Amino acid sequence: MVGEFIYPSLFSNTPTVKKREKFDQTVKMGGLETERTTTGWAARDPSGVLSPYTYTLRSTGPEDVFVKVMCCGICHTDLHQAKNDLGMSNYPMVPGHEVVGEVLEVGSDVSKFRVGDIVGVGCIVGCCRNCRPCDSDNEQYCHKKIWSYNDVYTDGKPTQGGFAGSMVVDQKFVVNIPEGMAPEQVAPLLCAGVTVYSPLNHFGLMGSGLRGGILGLGGVGHMGVKIAKAMGHHVTVISSSDKKKVEALEHLGADDYLVSSDAEGMQKAADSLDYIIDTVPVFHPLEPYLSLLKLNGKLILTGVINTPLQFVSPMVMLGRKSITGSFIGSMKETEEMLNFCKEKNLTSMIEVVKMDYINTAMERLEKNDVRYRFVVDVAGSKLDQ
């Protein structure tokens, strides 16, 4: 499987609903309450090396959905978190926030899902539900949001992500996967896809005829090209080299390709773009890209960078340009994005690996050696080895 691009579904047959008895369970001594355990692959320290780790899941509450993980994408943020690049990691940590799985059990108050449904779980598994962002369906900006992993849930236990056999998630933070979409293709959409869709939606950039730029052609960037093209935009990929030019133009359907170090090409493209979605997750200068924007153009930052970025103010002032940011998307936008991708027949370009390859995959991701997203076949992996 390693190194192979996968397009047909690994899970093409209708999933069989398995009995809960097949899952590892232990009973608390002296009580009747049953604890469910699962095995994931966790980082133990800032080396970021992942290895098997068995831990307890909470019981399925009234609003909860118990999900058997089928597959999970690997995002650059997983790398940041596993290696404590942001200085906020807690160990042991099971990463993974692009999760697709099968519902095995639902709580008594769950109305959106049934046993056997194929569902997705993204970056967030909790919020306060009563602040302005939560009230306006922007729960990803809630100051009390709970991350899928490397966080603490309301019960005081650490949250753990999708590089694991199963998860228990509040139904608010679970989405149905449209029928006919392959699970491994959907996984990257739950972060990379909605990260692009959300700012285009929010800033009113979904109409046809716009000219957009995608800076960086990785997991988020390649979905940016596909989604923007499906909206009818003229799309220019901007990269630091011409290594991905053929892929961008011929495989992804971009209209133009700019190398940022090509002074003549960058000059010719000045004042030509309505927006740029900046997906680069490391430090880079902003001024070369601000020059590409039209009057009122927007540079939209989506990459997590832990060092300050710089620019001179006239670059923004003399074109009424905006530097703004966007973080994933809301649950509402995630559902809209999945339906949009289903309607437009959009898929992600992926490389499927088993869990025992995950450390190599993380090393390759750090070197940008993937086209364009790794997806772990969790259900087909031996998690305890």
Question: Tell me: the pLDDT tens digits for 212-261?
Answer: 999 999 999 999 999 999 999 999 999 999 999 999 999 999 999 999 99
pLDDT at residue 20 in the model: 34
Q: Is the pLDDT of residue 1 over 60?
A: no
Backbone phi and psi for residue 15, each to the nearest 5 degrees, phi listed first: -60, 140
Rounded to a whole number, what is the distance in angstroms from the first to the last CA of the chain? 18
Q: Is the pLDDT of residue 11 over 70?
A: no
Question: Average pLDDT, stretch 9-29?
Answer: 37
Question: Average pLDDT, stretch 264-284?
Answer: 96
Question: Average pLDDT, stretch 259-264?
Answer: 96
Q: Is the pLDDT of residue 293 over 90?
A: yes
Q: Is the pLDDT of residue 174 over 80?
A: yes
31-45, 128-142, 261-275: least confidently modelled range: 31-45
Q: Is the pLDDT of residue 23 over 70?
A: no
% pLDDT > 70, the chain: 91
Kindly indicate the confidence band of residue 317, based on its pLDDT and cuts at 50, 70 and 90. very high
pLDDT at residue 33 in the model: 46
- Cα-based torsion angle of the residue sequence 194, 200, 202, 206 in order, rounded to the nearest 10 degrees: -120
Backbone phi and psi for residue 278, each to the nearest 5 degrees, phi listed first: -95, 105
8-state DSSP, 77: H
d(CA 304, CA 216): 13
pLDDT at residue 34 in the model: 59
Cis peptide before 197 (omega within 30 of 0): no
14-23, 65-74, 89-98: least confidently modelled range: 14-23
Return the structure tokens found at 13: 């047959």
Kindly indicate the confidence band of residue 337, based on its pLDDT and cuts at 50, 70 and 90. very high
Q: Is the pLDDT of residue 154 over 70?
A: yes
19-33, 168-182, 241-255, 360-374: least confidently modelled range: 19-33
Q: Is the pLDDT of residue 24 over 60?
A: no
40/34: higher pLDDT = 40
Q: Is the pLDDT of residue 35 over 90?
A: no
pLDDT at residue 385 in the model: 80
d(CA 197, CA 277): 10
Kindly indicate the confidence band of residue 16, based on its pLDDT and cuts at 50, 70 and 90. very low
Q: Do residues 126 and 72 touch, judged by C-beta distance below 8 A?
A: no
Task: Dump pLDDT digits (tens) for 102-112.
Answer: 999 999 999 99
d(CA 342, CA 190): 13
Kindly indicate the confidence band of residue 306, based on its pLDDT and cuts at 50, 70 and 90. confident
pLDDT at residue 169 in the model: 97
Question: Average pLDDT, stretch 176-185?
Answer: 96
pLDDT at residue 162 in the model: 98
Q: What is the mean pLDDT of the chain?
A: 91
Q: Is the pLDDT of residue 3 over 60?
A: no
**Domains of the chain, start order:** 37-191+349-377 (3.90.180.10), 195-325 (3.40.50.720)
